[in-house]
């Protein structure tokens, strides 16, 4: 009986020792694995943060591209609107001048500009022709002053010979102390030439030059420009002067043609 009790006690002691050994072994294993577990957890957290940042960055980049495209689209729309407003303003001015001038004037858009060399006819082509009542020889002007005369006509377009062309002669008067006459004989976009002025007549600078009505082509009183100066030396009784044009020929967009209708 004593031997059996001793054996039982020994088994119990061994079992308890085994349990304690297992507990201490597991604790040591956990402690030993902790650095690796911590490193792995830090790695995956960092990887997840980088992936999340990359995703957010990609989304932000795509959003920036979309916003840039929208801004560019809006800018183009605003530019189209600005051009439309400028065109409407130009047409309103043309219509307003037609109403002030009364019937008989046809507004025509300038389509192209002819040669500028001295040996080339200085012309413009406009978008109104025979079907609108335009005929060769019709006077062409803008509110600022005289532009020229219609030289050729088709059904839908006309060619206008500008007063800057030396072949186009215009009888003019100069307003000063008296009424001095002269002949406008072409020039450039910047200066016109007024010839056959009486040397005995003194023409003050900045005097207005107007059509005289002589010759029956141009009505009297259309502004041509502003008298600038005489040549410094003149050995003949008839001399010439320079005239600053009333019209900016380089900026013509619409002109008004005297119509037969």
Tens of pLDDT along 78-87? 766 776 676 5
Residue whose C-alpha is closest to residue 203's, from 169, 240, 161, 237: 240
Instruction: Kindly tell me if the per-residue pLDDT of 11 is higher than 60.
Output: no
Q: Do 52 and 80 sit in the same domain of this protein?
A: yes
The C-alpha atoms of residue 206 and residue 225 are separated, in whole angstroms, by 9
Question: Residues 138-153: what's their mean pLDDT?
Answer: 94
CB 243 within 8 A of CB 193: yes
More reliable by pLDDT, 83 or 164: 164
The C-alpha atoms of residue 230 and residue 237 are separated, in whole angstroms, by 13
CB 229 within 8 A of CB 242: yes
- The pLDDT score that the predictor gives to residue 104 is 79
Q: Do 122 and 249 sit in the same domain of this protein?
A: yes
Q: Give per-residue pLDDT as tens, 117-134.
A: 444 568 999 999 999 899
Q: Which of 102, 134, 151 is the last residue of a domain?
A: 102
Q: Do 127 and 252 sit in the same domain of this protein?
A: yes
pLDDT-above-90 percentage for the chain:
29
Q: Do 133 and 260 sit in the same domain of this protein?
A: yes
- The pLDDT score that the predictor gives to residue 119 is 43
Q: Do 119 and 71 sit in the same domain of this protein?
A: no
Q: Do 177 and 126 sit in the same domain of this protein?
A: yes
Q: Which of 41, 68, 102 is the last residue of a domain?
A: 102
Q: What is the CATH number of the domain that holds 239?
A: 2.40.10.350
C-alpha separations of 141 from 66, 72, 96, 223, 224 in Å:
51, 41, 15, 9, 10
Q: Do 194 and 74 sit in the same domain of this protein?
A: no
The C-alpha atoms of residue 136 and residue 133 are separated, in whole angstroms, by 10
The mean pLDDT value of the chain amounts to 76
Q: Do 208 and 169 sit in the same domain of this protein?
A: yes
Give the pLDDT band of residue 155 (cuts 50, 70, 90).
very high
Token readout for 65 is: 């591209």
Question: How many distinct structural domains can be found in the chain?
Answer: 2
Total residue length of the chain: 261
Which range has the top average pLDDT, 32-36, 97-101, 118-122, 149-153?
A: 149-153
Q: Do 230 and 164 sit in the same domain of this protein?
A: yes
pTM attached to this predicted model: 0.60
More reliable by pLDDT, 256 or 259: 256
Instruction: Kindly tell me if the per-residue pLDDT of 136 is higher than 70.
Output: yes
Q: Give per-residue pLDDT as tens, 23-57.
A: 455 555 545 555 666 666 766 776 666 766 667 77
More reliable by pLDDT, 34 or 62: 62
Give the pLDDT band of residue 58 (cuts 50, 70, 90).
confident
Q: Do 82 and 189 sit in the same domain of this protein?
A: no
Sequence-ordered list of residues with C-beta below 8 angstroms from that of 65, at least 6 positions apart, any chain: none
Residue whose C-alpha is closest to residue 234's, from 188, 205, 207, 200: 200
The C-alpha atoms of residue 130 and residue 27 are separated, in whole angstroms, by 109
CB 134 within 8 A of CB 259: yes
Question: Residues 93-99: what's their mean pLDDT?
Answer: 56
Sequence-ordered list of residues with C-beta below 8 angstroms from that of 204, at least 6 positions apart, any chain: 176, 177, 227
Q: Do 113 and 232 sit in the same domain of this protein?
A: yes
Q: Which of 53, 75, 102 is the last residue of a domain?
A: 102
Token readout for 191 is: 């200066």
Q: Kindly provide the residue ranges of all beta strands, DSSP E only, lying in the chain, ordered along the sequence.
A: 105-113, 123-126, 139-142, 145-153, 158-162, 170-175, 179-187, 192-198, 208-211, 223-229, 238-245, 254-258
Q: Do 75 and 193 sit in the same domain of this protein?
A: no
Token readout for 38 is: 């911590």
Identify the domain containing residue 251 by its residue range: 104-261
C-alpha separations of 212 from 33, 86, 96, 191, 235 in Å:
112, 35, 26, 19, 26
- The pLDDT score that the predictor gives to residue 117 is 47
């Amino acid at each position: 009986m004593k031997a059996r009790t001793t054996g039982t006690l020994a088994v119990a002691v061994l079992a308890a020792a085994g349990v304690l050994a297992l507990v201490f072994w597991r604790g040591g294993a956990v402690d030993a694995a902790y650095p690796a577990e911590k490193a792995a957890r830090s790695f995956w957290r960092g990887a997840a943060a980088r992936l999340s940042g990359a995703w957010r960055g990609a989304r932000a980049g795509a959003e920036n591209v979309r916003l840039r495209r929208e801004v560019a689209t809006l800018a183009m729309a605003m530019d189209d609107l600005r051009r439309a407003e400028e065109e409407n303003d130009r047409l309103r001015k043309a219509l307003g001048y037609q109403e002030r001038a009364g019937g008989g004037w046809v507004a025509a858009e300038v389509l192209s500009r002819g040669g500028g060399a001295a040996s080339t006819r200085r012309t413009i082509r406009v978008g109104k022709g025979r079907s609108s009542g335009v005929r060769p020889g019709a006077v062409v002007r803008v509110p600022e002053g005289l532009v020229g005369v219609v030289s050729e006509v088709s059904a839908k377009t006309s060619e206008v010979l500008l007063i800057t062309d030396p072949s186009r002669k215009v009888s003019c008067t100069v307003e000063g102390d008296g009424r001095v006459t002269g002949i406008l004989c072409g020039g450039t976009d910047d200066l016109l030439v007024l010839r056959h002025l009486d040397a005995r007549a003194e023409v003050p600078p900045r005097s207005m030059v107007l059509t005289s009505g002589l010759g029956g082509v141009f009505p009297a009183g259309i502004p041509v420009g502003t008298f600038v100066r005489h040549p410094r030396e003149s050995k003949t009784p008839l001399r010439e002067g320079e005239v600053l044009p009333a019209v900016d020929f380089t900026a013509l967009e619409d002109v008004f043609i005297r119509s037969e209708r």
